[in-house]
């Protein structure tokens, strides 16, 4: 059996347990309240750029993405915070393989050096043409570069 005071009492208990303090604002009135907004934790994993190795093995990293052909194996690089041992990589598509060759730091270019990873990317011969995203995963952190890899025929 519920009494008329059960619901207000339950709400009061929940508010006190959550350390909340209600603020009453009525129509045509204003009030002052100290509101604390919790900060969101920063993500230490982020893909800022990727690139593909040229014939000399040099990788130029850009935020615009890369092109690969069906059935080829390409050496690619990813740059950004968190590109360190313990970070794994996945291409969102069937049959792709992204294997870490090494981790390191960027050199040259503009700006400060950034952590980087060099991968061997195996593109399946029957991959559909189009854009694919690459994901970096470390523990419970995930970073995605959406549409960063374009498969061409």
96-144: per-residue pLDDT in tens? Answer: 999 999 999 998 777 789 999 999 999 999 999 999 999 999 999 999 9
Number of domains making up the chain: 1
Is 70 within the bounds of a domain?
yes
Is 60 within the bounds of a domain?
yes
Query: Rounded CA gap, 87 and 110, in Å?
Result: 25
Is 82 within the bounds of a domain?
yes
Spatial neighbors of 46 by CB under 8 A, at least 6 apart, are 80, 81, 82, 143
DSSP H or E run through 15? helix 6-17
Query: Rounded CA gap, 75 and 61, in Å?
Result: 12
Is 132 within the bounds of a domain?
yes
Is 103 within the bounds of a domain?
yes
**Domain that residue 144 falls in:** 49-152
Sheet with 97-105, side-by-side order of all strands: 49-52, 73-79, 115-122, 97-105
**pTM for the full model?**
0.71
CATH number for the domain that contains residue 108? 2.60.40.10
Is 106 within the bounds of a domain?
yes
pLDDT of residue 5: 53
Each residue of 4-20: pLDDT tens digit?
Answer: 555 566 655 555 555 55
pLDDT of residue 51: 96
The answer to whether the beta carbons of residues 115 and 105 sit under 8 Å apart is: yes
Mean pLDDT of 60-87: 95
pLDDT of residue 42: 60
């Amino acid at each position: 059996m519920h009494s008329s005071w059960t619901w207000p009492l339950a709400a009061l208990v929940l508010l006190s347990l959550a350390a909340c303090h209600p603020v009453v604002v009525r129509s045509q009135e204003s009030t002052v309240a100290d509101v604390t907004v919790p900060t969101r934790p920063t993500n230490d994993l982020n893909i800022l750029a990727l690139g593909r190795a040229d014939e000399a093995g040099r990788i130029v990293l850009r935020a615009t993405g890369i092109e690969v052909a069906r059935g080829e194996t390409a050496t690619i690089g990813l740059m950004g915070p968190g590109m360190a041992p313990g970070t794994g990589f996945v291409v969102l598509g069937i049959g792709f393989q992204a294997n870490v060759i090494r981790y390191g730091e960027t050199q040259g270019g503009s700006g400060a050096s950034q952590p980087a990873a060099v991968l061997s990317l195996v593109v399946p011969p029957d991959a559909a043409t189009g854009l694919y995203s690459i994901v970096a995963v470390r523990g419970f952190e995930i970073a995605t570069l959406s549409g960063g890899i374009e498969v061409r025929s």
